[in-house]
Chain A
Amino acid sequence: MFNETVISEINEIRGKYPDRRSALLPSLYIAQREFGWLSHEAMTCVAKTLNLPEADVRGTASFYSMFKNAPVGRHVIQICTNVSCMILGAEKLVDIVGAKYGVTSGGTSEDGRFSLVIMECIGACGTAPAMLVDTDFYENLTETNILEILDKYK
């Protein structure tokens, strides 16, 4: 179960909405922060805290790709390969990152450092190619700066 602090954090969020169900998405983010991904245990904790059915929690959690339904590495790299980024060489970037850290799309590097997720448009077409590392946003990526950036994430 969540510790007291987390429970009160969720309860506070709950207070902002007219019903419990509305507090589900923010609570899932908190669970993901606490557990690293949305395991069954994490979802059960959310269900219990919000007094919602577990199945509903899972149904919601599985709908959004920002919620992780499997364990991920310490850092999550999310590279966009949609049209603009693709034209500007995003797929090459994916290969470079893959070769350097030994990670494939949807997978995690053996040392548990990085997970790689291929994203659809993340709204940065004007400054493509773009990616997210955890919650940090990077644009105008090149074959060199992408590795420099990633090097900062241990």
Chain B
Amino acid sequence: MITLTINGKEITLDKPITVLEAARQSGIKIPTLCAHEVLKPYGGCRLCVVEVERMPRLQTACTLMAADGMEVRTESETISEVRRGILEFLLINHPLDCPYCDKAGECELQDLVNKYGPTVGRHKEEKRKVAESHKDQIFSRNMERCVSCTRCVRMCSDMQGASAISMIARGTHTRMEPFTADSFNCEYCGNCLSVCPVGAILSRLSLHSYRPWQVDKEVETICSYCGVGCTLVVQVRDDAIKRVIPKMGAGINNGMLCSRGRFGYEYIGSEERLRVPLVRKNGKLEQSTWSEALGLIAEKLTEIRNTNGGKAIAGIASPRCSNEDNYVFQKFMRMTCKTNNIDSVSRTGFAAAQKYFEDLLGQGITGNLIDGLKHSETILVLGGDPTAVNPILGLAIREAARDGANIIVLGNAKGLEKFKTVQVVPPVFNEAVVLEEVLTEVFKAKGVRGERPFVDKELKLLSKRTSGKVDIEGYEELKKALLETESLSIVLGMDMVQRTDGHRTLFAVAALTYLLEARLYTLSERANEQGLIDAGCVPDMLPGGRPINISDFKVKFETVWKGTIPDEDGLTLLEIIEGTRNKDIKALYVMGENPVFNIPDGSSVKEALGNLDFMVVQDIFLTETGEMADVVLPALGWTERIGTYTNLERRIQLQKKAVESSSGMEDWRILSELSNKMEYKMKYMQAEDVMHEMAKVSPLYSELTYSEIAEGECLWPYHGEPLRGEINEVPEMLDVAGDYRADFYLALEKPLFHSGSLSRRSQALMKIYPEASLKVGAASAEKLGLTDGDKVQISTSAGSLDTSVIIEDSIKDNRVYMSNNFAGSGVFNLMKFNVDKVTKAPGIEGCEVTIKKL
């Protein structure tokens, strides 16, 4: 216990903190400039000086630890004079261009000078002149305004871990600059911008377009992009999003954001948004009305259902849509269209992994908090770069690394280059082999655990198959780390799932989790991949992850839903596509997804969908798939409606409304109107009504309400009852080892700055990363005689395209990477795949590619 007095007020602390923090806790304000709540104390600006009894000089409150018996005064004539003096020094060079500066109104220097003076400066010298820099696409940098507090630099290196900027030069010439002095060329998280106390770093997205006090509305909501679900604040003026800012101390991200979350909001106001329903007439999509469009869909779907049976209809749901949307979607498919053929593009990764893990280890095995990573002693990262796919989760790994955790990377992970302690790069596409070897060692050391018969049995079989001989750099360290660690986290990226033998990796990961009681995290590219599964948008499970083939569960749902659910499990995503190819499936309903673009071997998907009698797409943009549809319906997007999302930790959060959209309808509302037309009644007036029903019927969500979710911390397993056992029988493992001897393989890049059709329509992200390029490792580049920027033609058995080369030192094998985000140059068009027979995910490994310099 520490007891001190600040301004005569007695304060008791139960743990040692700084005088500044103690003062803030009890509501006493001390002015600061270099201190920031998310940064470590620095003690640079001296504005926070306070008087402490028995201490000879003024002390900086931000660095002084509170001690028992301390008597602190935060305001006095002496203190004010010192503060005034410091400010006068800062104003020697600060330009006083507040009327023109975007920061005015929320500038800390302005506020301080307003409070402490000076009103007139005594310095006659000229102010330093530094030209404002607009050489970066996103940031405007005005170094005349910089007060050298170093908050931006400390943010970038200590918190973001990017170390892209630094303080340059000395004395009055000191300023912040990125390495190149022009473009930041960094991770563009914008976190430096959020901590700059003055207008020295500004966002060009909103430059000179409004004043902080002109915001009509501020709405705290969550990000629409990835499966982390960061809390952010949307500032609205004239019904348009002006700015997205973080909120310190709130949410999973505690004031940090990534580039997509902060700068990727422009798609919502895009000119390309779908505004009215489109109906195909004489082969062309034409503008139509809601009543015509819905009438036509109801008529067609009813006809196909009645003639060919529900099995001839399939639905593709969306990990971008809310729990409510997805719940109503599966209910519409099951009850109205009479089909269990419901899946999503998540099957190509997250949903496939999740099902396998839960079948083996029980529901909720991945329900781990991101914060847990920070407390891990060892983190095993495989199958992708967490700092690109789920950036804020990536930051937790970096933080753990700074605190001394052992970070083991299997394969490539660019964003962890400076943070990893061990990297193991197996021969290309042989990760499973290495994992099985190390798993066997762990199994030998730990013995049979005896809780999961299938896993125990497979482990015994496996230990007979493995050779015990691995000669790869870093392998011994990997083994040692796994054998010795007391607390392990495993972070799995989807690159490992998109393999024909993906289930072998998944088994190894699951078994390690089981043997070592590890925390397991599956990276999730889209905001609601988990929620989609929990809402029942999978072919074999009802909401709450209840298997359809267990009749007790089915009957319970049928009672509430008043009708019958088809008996048989439906088809998975790739089976649905095959079904359209061989015409077993005649109608497809797509909600918020673009299968033609987002499934490998796009041209063959397109060909298959071409066989459909009838296709409906509801989306916020006219996508490649929408262009093929018979009816296209405009939906509402992020910030235009309310709904809940379940992140990769299985935390449920509320996404709120901030702007009014002139057209479009909520996905769930479209579906329920349609259902009513098809004589299966749905009576939801608002999204919350859907949640009420989910809470009633889904054993996971029982009694969950919006008000509870809005309060935050709505964590797994809520009030629900997860299924703990081995849920479904898991198929035996298959031996599908390939032979990978080609010179180069094409692989899927998951860039930090993009996420499909949304980021493509966000100008800022397009400026940062404007077009597809081929990422090549240094060794491969040397072999090919390539340098940065070279134009090349890449060809696979599926086709070829021209692009330019970027050399990435972080790629350590002979894979070359390209993203699947840009219209016309999606890498999925160049990839054929085989299906992993166990997980039903597409295996896109082994895509041989030739690269020709142009």
B163 touches A56 (CB 8 A): yes
Give the segment of A9-17, A57-65, A138-146 that binds chain B. A57-65
How far is B177's CA from A43's CA once the two chains are assembled, in angstroms? 15
How far is B184's CA from A54's CA once the two chains are assembled, in angstroms? 12
B164 touches A62 (CB 8 A): no
Give the segment of B167-175, B452-460, B485-493 that binds chain A. B167-175
B157 touches A53 (CB 8 A): yes
B179 touches A54 (CB 8 A): yes
Residue ID in chain B nearest A60 by CB atoms: B166
Can you identify 7 A-B contacts, CB atoms within 8 angstroms? A40-B180, A53-B162, A55-B178, A58-B166, A58-B177, A62-B170, A63-B170
The residues of A that contact B165 with a CB separation of less than 8 Å are 55
How far is B179's CA from A54's CA once the two chains are assembled, in angstroms? 6
Least Cβ–Cβ distance between A40 and chain B, in angstroms: 7
How far is B170's CA from A43's CA once the two chains are assembled, in angstroms? 18
Question: Counting CB contacts under 8 A, is B418 at the interface?
Answer: yes
How far is B164's CA from A56's CA once the two chains are assembled, in angstroms? 8
Least Cβ–Cβ distance between A7 and chain B, in angstroms: 15
* Cβ-defined partner of B169 (8 Å) among A43, A51, A53, A63: A63
How far is B156's CA from A62's CA once the two chains are assembled, in angstroms? 19
A interface, size bucket: 10 to 19
How far is B168's CA from A56's CA once the two chains are assembled, in angstroms? 9
Using a CB–CB cutoff of 8 Å, the interface residues on chain A facing chain B are 40, 43, 51, 53-56, 58-60, 62-63
A59 touches B418 (CB 8 A): no
How far is B168's CA from A40's CA once the two chains are assembled, in angstroms? 14
The residues of A that contact B167 with a CB separation of less than 8 Å are 59
* Cβ-defined partner of B157 (8 Å) among A56, A58, A63: A56
Given contacts A40-B179, A53-B163, A54-B179, contact A62 B157 (CB under 8 A): no
Least Cβ–Cβ distance between A79 and chain B, in angstroms: 20
The residues of A that contact B153 with a CB separation of less than 8 Å are 59
The residues of A that contact B177 with a CB separation of less than 8 Å are 55, 58
Among all A-B residue pairs, the 3 with the closest Cβ atoms: A59-B166, A53-B163, A55-B166
How far is B168's CA from A25's CA once the two chains are assembled, in angstroms? 15
Least Cβ–Cβ distance between A19 and chain B, in angstroms: 13
A53 touches B168 (CB 8 A): no
The residues of B that contact A54 with a CB separation of less than 8 Å are 179
Least Cβ–Cβ distance between B398 and chain A, in angstroms: 13
Least Cβ–Cβ distance between B93 and chain A, in angstroms: 18
How far is B153's CA from A55's CA once the two chains are assembled, in angstroms? 10
How far is B387's CA from A138's CA once the two chains are assembled, in angstroms? 55
Least Cβ–Cβ distance between A20 and chain B, in angstroms: 11
Interface of chain B residues 52 through 99 with chain A (CB within 8 A): none
Q: Which of B153, B179, B418 has the most CB of A within 10 A?
A: B179
8 new A-B contacts at CB < 8 Å, known A55-B179, A56-B166, A59-B167: A43-B179, A53-B418, A55-B165, A55-B177, A56-B163, A59-B166, A59-B168, A63-B169
B170 touches A53 (CB 8 A): no
The residues of B that contact A58 with a CB separation of less than 8 Å are 166, 168, 177, 179
Residue ID in chain A nearest B164 by CB atoms: A55
Least Cβ–Cβ distance between B161 and chain A, in angstroms: 9
Residue ID in chain A nearest B173 by CB atoms: A62
B178 touches A62 (CB 8 A): no
Question: A-facing mask of B383-421, CB < 8 A → 1, else 0?
Answer: 000000000000000000000000000000000001000
Least Cβ–Cβ distance between A103 and chain B, in angstroms: 23
The residues of A that contact B157 with a CB separation of less than 8 Å are 53, 56
How far is B157's CA from A43's CA once the two chains are assembled, in angstroms? 18
The residues of A that contact B162 with a CB separation of less than 8 Å are 53
The residues of B that contact A40 with a CB separation of less than 8 Å are 179-180
The residues of B that contact A62 with a CB separation of less than 8 Å are 168-170
Q: Which of A55, A59, A60 has the most CB of B within 10 A?
A: A55
How far is B153's CA from A60's CA once the two chains are assembled, in angstroms? 13
Least Cβ–Cβ distance between B172 and chain A, in angstroms: 14
Least Cβ–Cβ distance between A104 and chain B, in angstroms: 20
The residues of A that contact B418 with a CB separation of less than 8 Å are 51, 53
